[in-house]
């Protein structure tokens, strides 16, 4: 889809927040510049990288690309700066280690024109550091993602499905109108789940206008192998609990909010108590033999490997 480009008023603004991704930033930029749609501006913000990320981006000679550099301020602040600079009718975000398929923007524009959607997300393709696709259906991340997708198809309601799990997966999956962005506002200061919070706010702001192209895989999502289990696994889940509680209560009639809040809080407390009781009653684990812990660590690592970037 070749259309005349207007740099003062581009059709799409793509924002790349970049931090210490010298290994991936070139491919991310290339995946934007190689789109089948060419009426866009690409805003790359270097969030205080200490590697060669900035030098790689500045080596590009393309009038559609604008480069900014700042001291490290975390991903959500970097994205917010990009939103403030965007001039396009539509807004897209791409993390500096992910990739667009070559026809992503074209397909999103076609679907938006057809449906009038304010925000569109698609399915994703998980890839490794080296770009290999994770195709094994028994791979931990694939099991998690398919569970969320299955629930979406079963329940038929996108808001309810997001309460079950974040099948948007990543900020890179967001494509929205500038109007939707302006009404929804900035990303919140959650280090790990600012994308999850934002999609809930979009659904509330643009009720009925958030669409999921469930059968189109238009984004490569990078799952890193080098991450290890840490505090992020705990913090991320605590944020997850708070977000689900918050946005579940947003949909409850006012007369029932206190009732549902009390019941849901008690269920969380009971789960913690059950875990503590079971741990206290469980037989001791033989020294050096910890298969269950090993399995838990592996599953948690898959979840946090992207959130800790």
Task: Say which residue, 69 or 272, is predicted with more confidence.
Answer: 69
Exposed, middle or buried by CB within 10 Å (0-12, 13-18, 19+), for 217?
middle
- Model confidence at 1, pLDDT cuts 50, 70, 90, reads very low
Give dist(CA 209, CA 234) in Å, integer: 33
- Model confidence at 300, pLDDT cuts 50, 70, 90, reads low
Secondary structure of residue 132 in the 3-state scheme: coil
- Model confidence at 3, pLDDT cuts 50, 70, 90, reads very low
The predicted structure's pLDDT at residue 299? 57
The predicted structure's pLDDT at residue 238? 85
pLDDT above 50 for 200: yes
pLDDT above 80 for 231: no
Q: What is the pTM of this model?
A: 0.85
Task: Look over the chain and give the mean of its residue pLDDT values, rounded to a whole number.
Answer: 90
Residues linked to residue 14 through DSSP beta bridges, in sequence order: 42, 92
Domains and CATH numbers, the chain: 12-222 (3.90.550.10), 231-307 (no CATH)
Give dist(CA 202, CA 187) in Å, integer: 11
Secondary structure of residue 142 in the 3-state scheme: helix
- Mean pLDDT to the nearest integer, 116-126: 98
Distances (CA, A) of 185 to 81, 83, 136: 12, 9, 38
pLDDT in tens, 156-178: 999 999 999 999 999 999 999 99
pLDDT above 90 for 4: no
pLDDT above 70 for 181: yes
- Mean pLDDT to the nearest integer, 12-37: 97
Do 44 and 18 contact (CB within 8 A), yes or no? yes
- Model confidence at 286, pLDDT cuts 50, 70, 90, reads low
Of 133, 162, 97, nearest to 305 by C-alpha is 97
């Amino acid at each position: 889809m070749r259309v005349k480009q207007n740099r003062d008023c581009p059709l799409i603004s793509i924002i790349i927040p970049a931090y210490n991704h010298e290994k991936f930033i070139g491919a991310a930029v290339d995946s934007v510049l190689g789109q089948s749609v060419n009426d866009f501006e690409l805003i790359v913000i270097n969030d205080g990288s200490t590697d060669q990320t900035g030098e790689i981006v500045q080596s590009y000679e393309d009038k559609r690309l604008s480069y900014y550099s700042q001291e490290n301020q975390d991903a959500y602040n970097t994205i917010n700066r990009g939103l403030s600079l965007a001039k396009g009718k539509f807004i897209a975000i791409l993390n500096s280690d992910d990739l667009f398929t070559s026809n992503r923007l074209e397909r999103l524009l076609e679907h938006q024109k057809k449906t009038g959607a304010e925000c569109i997300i698609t399915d994703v393709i998980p890839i490794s550091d080296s770009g290999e696709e994770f195709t094994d259906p028994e791979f931990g991340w694939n099991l998690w993602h398919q569970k969320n997708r299955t629930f979406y198809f079963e329940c038929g309601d996108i808001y309810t499905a997001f309460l079950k799990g974040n099948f948007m997966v990543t900020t890179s999956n967001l494509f929205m109108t500038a109007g939707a962005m302006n009404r929804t506002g900035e990303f919140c200061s959650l280090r790990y789940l600012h994308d999850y919070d934002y999609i809930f706010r979009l659904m509330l702001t643009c009720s009925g206008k958030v669409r999921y192209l469930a059968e189109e895989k238009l984004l490569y999502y990078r799952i890193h192998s080098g991450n290890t289990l840490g505090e992020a696994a705990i913090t991320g889940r605590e944020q997850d609990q708070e977000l689900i509680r918050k946005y579940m209560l947003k949909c409850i009639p006012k007369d029932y909010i206190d009732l549902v809040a009390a019941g849901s809080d008690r269920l969380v407390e009971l789960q913690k108590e059950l875990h503590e009781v079971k741990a206290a009653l469980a037989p001791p684990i033989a020294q050096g033999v910890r298969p269950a812990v090993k399995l838990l660590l592996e599953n948690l690592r898959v979840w946090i490997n992207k959130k800790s970037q």
